[in-house]
Chain A
Amino acid sequence: MLDYVGLEADLDSEERMVRDTAREFVEKEFKPIVGEHYIDGTFPTELIPKLGELGFYAPNLDGYGLPGLSETAYGLLMQELEAGDSGLRSMASVQGALVMYPIYAYGSDEQKEQWLPEMGTGETIGCFGLTEPEHGSNPSAMETYATKAGNEYVLNGSKTWITNSPIADVAVVWARDRSAENTPVRGFLVETDRDGVSTNKIDEKLSLRASITGEIGLQNVHIPKENMLPGVSGMKGPLSCLTQARFGIAWGAVGAARDCFETAREYATDREQFGGPIARFQLQQEKLAEMATQITTAQLLAYRLSELKERGEMTPQHVSMAKRNNVRMARDQSRIAREMLGGNGITADYSPMRHMANLETVYTYEGTHDIHTLVLGQDLTGIAAFE
């Protein structure tokens, strides 16, 4: 895999081993089957416990049987998973950063004991309910609400574009607490087998096909009041989870782009036209040179972001910049890679077009590209364009 300025040479032995294990797993267990799953619009669910056995869910958290790896090791894992498919990385992102993280950071001891060990092994699958049919980029306008009734909360509302909701055992649902002053956004752990919960699957996607997506419908769903996450109130709750997940996306996008690059490079050196490999043409060399440069600069940003995160100096705006830049980079470069493969590039036999289609989703999920632009604009000028 392209590592033009040798960043991986400076990894410590533990980080290199994480990279190697993840890479080998993706090469041997995932890449051979992803094309078919993509075409069928399915996720290889048999891999879910296997990913857990390997410790791929929230490995940067500590305790509860979780390994507590460095942020760089976590980033490398996301990078290797997304070199397989954005759907694979999304599986790990959602389970780890969007479900286990809020339980870990804001949950009660009982919630942590109950959920984290079995989510770490993949026995229990979680999903994250924030986006609503009418509220995407502006989640604070959410309509889903909870009202307290004795020892219970009653939830009503609907969430959509929820990765893994159709197969999830539990959902972290973000809802306005109408029983509290100023109706703050609170997080609730909702078991999906409760009465009034529906998790319809969204079919016929043209992107991220090897990933399960659905809705969460909540109709008078009664949950014990202990299911509320006690440690956070307000939009900080969901947004801090998204910061964790977007950190992984900034790394993951580099992985997808590297897979496209290596596929294109190999193709260009093997494919012969006009009596020799097409890699000898300046037009193709320019594409590879540009792709390698873009990947390398995105990689640098990801590494720096990890350092900042490790020392507790990473801001959400840093993550916005990295997610924005790296996903755009991967989206653009996957298209160039596809182009270099000519007609072969439009088949599922090669990864670039699959990555390219996936990255359309990644470009607008977890904060659209444009919203991240405005986050940066606000940070740089002090003026919020979206308020």
Chain B
Amino acid sequence: MMKVLVTVKEVAEVEEDFVLDGTRIDDRFLEYDLNEWDDYAIETAVQLAEAGDDVEVVSATIGPERCEETIRMALAKGVDRGIRVWDDTLASVDLLDVNAKTEIFNAIIAEEEPDLILTGVQAHDDSFGATGVSVADAAGYEWAAVVNALDLDADAGVAHVRRELEGGVEELTDVELPAVLTIQTGINEPRYASLRGIRMAQRKEIAQQTLDDLGLDEGAVESQITLTDMYEPESESDVELFEGDADAAAASLASVLREKGVGAQ
């Protein structure tokens, strides 16, 4: 028996035109969806479950009732059950930082004792990218970040992973289980939920837990970070488009390069 925990997040997607309201974007301009990276983490977990004999996949999220749809979509794709953490204390927190999420997920890990934890590399909305590794550190698990290929040897308790580093460099590493892997986009091709899966997902469990249920208090979610300002940066563009066919465009490009002093001999 192997247990895989996938942490997922519902992220806000901002419409093309939006209005800032202090340090917030007005709700009218937001749509909510599953974090893109987490979709790849879910697919990774579901593929492990399909390949293995006895693999349970549990998905956990922090968020209001609205998020049930997001987590249910994960259930429709093959996750076995879900956990959603929310209560009034969490609702009153403006910014849930990495430490707060670490505390919450760590409490879930203590209860679930998963062999493998998969997270997305980062969140699409606030672009925090530390939760996965921070959770590993707190739980005393091994970790590998930005994983874009995984070959799991469950019997030996080792994950052979490929990590994407800066500058196009890739690293092959063996990580001993239990471990946290943060999953990079492109590791697989996330599936669509089938209508059969959607049907079955309605009968799968999503357990709601409060901070209290997890043995935490409001101190756990106090943030050391405050959001001070939101603004749209001034953008400047200086673009010249070359019209016409390849010959004409090449001639225009050549004259621009000559003007700039390239190949001036």
A: residues with CB less than 8 A from B are: 13-14, 16-18, 20-21, 24-25, 53-56, 59, 65-69, 73, 77
Which 8 pairs between the two chains have the least Cβ-Cβ distance? A55-B195, A67-B199, A59-B195, A67-B196, A55-B194, A67-B195, A17-B198, A55-B196
Q: Among A14, A24, A65, A66, which residue has its beta carbon within 8 angstroms of that of B198?
A: A14
Give the distance in Å from the alpha carbon of A69 to the alpha carbon of B68 in the complex: 20
Chain B proximity of A22: nearest CB distance (Å):
9
CB of A69 within 8 A of CB of B199, answer yes
Q: Among A13, A16, A21, which residue has its beta carbon within 8 angstroms of that of B195?
A: A21
Which chain B positions have C-beta within 8 A of A59?
195
Main secondary structure on B side of the interface with A: helix
CB of B192 within 8 A of CB of A17, answer no
Give the distance in Å from the alpha carbon of A56 to the alpha carbon of B18 in the complex: 36
CB of B196 within 8 A of CB of A17, answer no
Closest residue of chain B to A13 (Cβ to Cβ) is B69
- Contact A56 to B195, CB < 8 A, known contacts A14-B202, A17-B72, A17-B73: yes
Chain A proximity of B117: nearest CB distance (Å):
26
Give the distance in Å from the alpha carbon of A59 to the alpha carbon of B68 in the complex: 23
Give the distance in Å from the alpha carbon of A25 to the alpha carbon of B194 in the complex: 11
Give the distance in Å from the alpha carbon of A67 to the alpha carbon of B195 in the complex: 7
B: residues with CB less than 8 A from A are: 68-69, 72-73, 76, 192-199, 201-202
CB of A65 within 8 A of CB of B196, answer yes
Which chain A positions have C-beta within 8 A of B69?
13, 16-17
12 CB-based A-B contacts, threshold 8 Å: A13-B68, A13-B72, A17-B193, A17-B198, A18-B198, A21-B193, A21-B194, A55-B195, A59-B195, A67-B198, A68-B199, A69-B199
Closest residue of chain A to B202 (Cβ to Cβ) is A14
CB of B72 within 8 A of CB of A54, answer no
Give the distance in Å from the alpha carbon of A69 to the alpha carbon of B195 in the complex: 8
Give the distance in Å from the alpha carbon of A14 to the alpha carbon of B197 in the complex: 10
CB of B194 within 8 A of CB of A53, answer yes
Which chain B positions have C-beta within 8 A of A54?
192, 194-195
CB of B199 within 8 A of CB of A14, answer yes
